[in-house]
Amino acid sequence: MTSGKFITFEGGEGCGKSTQAERLKSALESTGREVVLTREPGGTWISEEVRRLLKDPDSEAPSDRCELLLFLAARAQLVEKVIKPALERGAWVISDRFSDSTIAYQGFGRGLPIDVIRIVDSFACGGVKPDLTILLCADRSAAASRMRSRESETNTSPDRIELAGDGFHERIREGYLKLADEEPERIVPVDANGTVDEVWERVWKSIRRIG
């Protein structure tokens, strides 16, 4: 059976990943492909419970190492139960975040050793790696505006990670750019400023490189 393709969306808070991932799902389905859209942490019952624990600003704050291991535990379950089976049956899988987020947030952001993160993440992924990663790059002001709009529309408050300081988010931004420099064939930076339609045109152009 022909293997499917695995595409991930990455970027800082408010860059528009979820919106563009949904549009890509619809575009690919219109071509007759089976498409599975998931998110991290999440996508399975266990992984969604981990997401709740990690995101809730009112729950006990995990240590940096605990946070890392919770993210990786959620990923291991998602890969085993959702991503691998979908790819094996020939579906295209789109994930809102994957391994690069862990390196950017827990490595560059929290300051945990990146070499250790890569080793444990490789175990969690079980050999699964994205065919293409779209890195959405938005100005901090534009991202903040999107987050305010989302919170207003959904009547939600910022989560624990969104509430981290500007220094934390700047380290994440710099980390993502370093990762893109290291793997230019897989990670494609895309300008995420502008309207949803403008960003989508840039995303779709990048997707076409893998068919």
Looking up tokens 């076409």 gives: 208
Domains in the chain, number: 1
pLDDT of residue 67: 95
Say if 1 falls within a structural domain: no
| Domain extent at residue 91 | 6-210
Amino acid sitting at position 69: L
Q: DSSP letter for 196, please.
A: H
Q: Which residues of the chain carry a pLDDT beneath 70?
A: 1-3, 141-158, 211
**CA pair distance 35, 19, nearest whole angstrom:** 16
Helices (H), the chain: 17-29, 45-55, 64-78, 84-88, 99-102, 114-125, 140-154, 166-182, 196-207
Is 63 part of a structural domain of the chain? yes
Residues 6 or more apart whose CB falls under 8 angstroms from that of 12 comprise: 138, 143, 169, 172, 173, 176
Domain CATH for 206 = 3.40.50.300
């528009």: which residue's tokens? Answer: 16
Tens of pLDDT along 25-37? 999 999 999 999 9
Residue 117 belongs to a domain: yes
Integer distance in angstroms from the first to the last C-alpha of the chain? 18
Query: In Å, how far are 33, 187, 203 from 174, measured between CA atoms?
Result: 35, 14, 21
- The answer to whether position 121 is within a domain reads yes
Task: Give the pLDDT confidence score for residue 1 in this predicted structure.
Answer: 40
What phi and psi, each to the nearest 5 degrees, are found at residue 92?
-95, 135
Residues 90-109 pLDDT 10s: 999 999 999 999 999 999 99
pLDDT, position 148? 60
pTM: 0.90
pLDDT score recorded for residue 89? 94
Is 75 within a domain? yes
Q: Is the dihedral of CA 22, 136, 121, 84 positive or negative?
A: positive
pLDDT at position 60, please?
87
| Amino acid in position 81 | K
